Amino acid sequence: MNKRIVMKYHIISALRILLFFGVFGVYAQSHQEHVYLRVNTASLLSGESLYYKIYVLDESNKPSSLSKLAYIELFDGKKNTVTKQKVLVNEGIASGDLFIDKEIASGSYKLIAYTNEALKNTELFQTDLLVVNPYQNNFENWESSSDTTGTSQEIVKKDVVIKSSDLLLLNNHEFGKREKVVVNFDREILKNTSFLEGNYSLSVRKIDAFSKIESIPESKNFKHYLFKDASLDTKQITAEFRGNIISGKLTGDDIANKTITASVPGNPFQFKLATTNENGDFYLVLDNPLPSSTVYLQPLNTTDALVTIDSFYIPKKAIREIKSYDLKLAMQPDIAERAVADQIENAYYDYKRDTLLEVANESVKKFYAPLEKIYYLDDFTRFPTMQETIVEIVKELYFKKKKGKYTLHSRDYENEYSENLFGETLIFIDGIIIRDTDQFFNYDARKIDRIEVVNSGYFYGGKLFNGIASVYTKEGDFILENNDEFPVYKKEMLPLSSTKTYFKPTYKTATSNARIPDYRYQLVWEPIFNLKEKANYSFYTSDVPGLYEITLDGFTSNGDPVSMCTQILVK
């Protein structure tokens, strides 16, 4: 490809990005974003998972197209963070699960969900969660009452009035163990295009007094769980319209119009550039998903300035009062029985694995593809040093040594003045930009798998470079050393939580999986429930008798809230 055409292409791409941010910024200012967190339950035992779906909505309850990332955070009774997850938002929807570890103590917790865009409006979605850890036996608020209302004992002793819905139609309301349940939807409501094209979740879960101790937020009342708080400092918050944001500041004497680089190692890796403003502030946008949780930040054209990376924490005063709960002593047998069921299910986890869904990788191509020439070093005579390897194999590269310091250059055969015209060469090892060329030339070339070279002027991030030299090691384990002359700053990013299809067994015959026990309390969790595809839906009961609740919750395509519920009894 002609070099001028390549440079023109990259300049046009940069202009398109600037235009995108300008138009998108105006759009974002006129659209406020809200977060609704739908969970499968509000009371859990240690060793269980909380399943959740995050709706990112505009003012009319329709999916927001702004944020690409959302967060869920669990706080304990003292308002300290217990765990935090980041999920990818696709067309206003995200989902995941939160495992309640056996190290988590019994008590009351607060679940908070948000996007950076919602944070900019000082808004958080907050709901309460009760955790009982039967392995630590440290729950303090037990009532001495022997009342068994709502417990499994009470359900077994008398006939149960099963709640039903005219819109959720079942093949029966009473079922045996491992029996097929068929769910249909009223034909008239399916004629409603807005309902049919809506955005829903489906949950089937065993209910008793413990599971009903705290109500679950629903689509029809989710705004009751949205709280604004002026104590949220939003100055450092940047909406994540394209991906992960890293912001920070250069401090020193010469801080304006300086280039900050971000390297995210991997195969392929990510490399981004940002330019500081007159105050030394910078913003870097990283694509989703990140190939690694570690990001290396380095100033490119200054050595006497320090980099400070912004961080954000939800202040305790922004967290609403956390509820306290009293449990009946009569619930203890139910809790003990459920804890045993959880242990059995966890013991057979290898037979009941959830399916991880692959996330579309926006950065699957190297930023310099397809311009590179690749040298697989095993195809040539091996040399122990980088110097010999460059001289004998990689003809597009050459180096100089002045006052004991190496510099690397690319050789453009079409332009004998390319070195002076285009400045320095971009050097990478395993995706980490190398400023200290001594680390490059001191590396053992026998550990290298391949070298990729772009030997012409390359325009990227507003800067013009004298080509690219990208080295991939065999093990992908290069460690960049920090030094005073070329300081390196690390930023550990919260990894992206996996999206899954959750396990759901099929018992087509009486002997299907007969030797594998089934003690599921959560029979179904479908965070993305598409009525067009699943208007006739089926699942199987487990070996656990009791009352189960089938709940469909979400929004129509017009933004109208939908919450349907019916029940079945398993004997």
- Identify the helix (H) or strand (E) that includes residue 15: helix 3-29
Give the distance between the most distant pair of CA atoms in the chain: 92
146-192 pLDDT, tens digit per residue, is 455 555 544 444 445 566 667 788 999 999 999 999 998 887 787 88
Q: Quick one: DSSP state of residue 26? A: H
Neighbours of 431 (CB within 10 A): 23
Alpha helices in 287-436 (DSSP H): 332-347, 386-392, 418-422
pLDDT of 542 over the 80 cut:
yes
Cβ atoms of residues 292 and 267 within 8 Å = no
Output the pTM of the full model.
Answer: 0.87
For 31-233+314-359+499-570, which CATH class? mainly beta
31-44 pLDDT, tens digit per residue, is 689 999 999 999 99
Average pLDDT over residues 528-536: 86
401-410 pLDDT, tens digit per residue, is 988 889 999 9
The pLDDT assigned to 419 comes to 55
Q: β-strands 546-555, 561-570: how paired?
A: antiparallel
Closest residue by Cα to residue 408 from 472, 469, 329: 469
Neighbours of 169 (CB within 10 A): 14
Cβ atoms of residues 449 and 473 within 8 Å = yes
The pLDDT assigned to 163 comes to 66
Q: What is the mean pLDDT of the chain?
A: 86
Average pLDDT over residues 322-330: 83
Query: Residue by residue, what is the 3-state secondary structure of 461-501?
Result: CCEEEEEEEEEEECCCCCCCCCCCCCCCEEEECCCECCEEE
**pLDDT band, very low/low/confident/very high, at 10 (cuts 50, 70, 90):** very low
30-77 pLDDT, tens digit per residue, is 468 999 999 999 999 999 999 999 999 999 999 999 999 999 999 999
**pLDDT band, very low/low/confident/very high, at 28 (cuts 50, 70, 90):** very low
The pLDDT assigned to 359 comes to 64
Domain residue spans in the chain?
A: 1-30, 31-233+314-359+499-570, 238-311+362-492
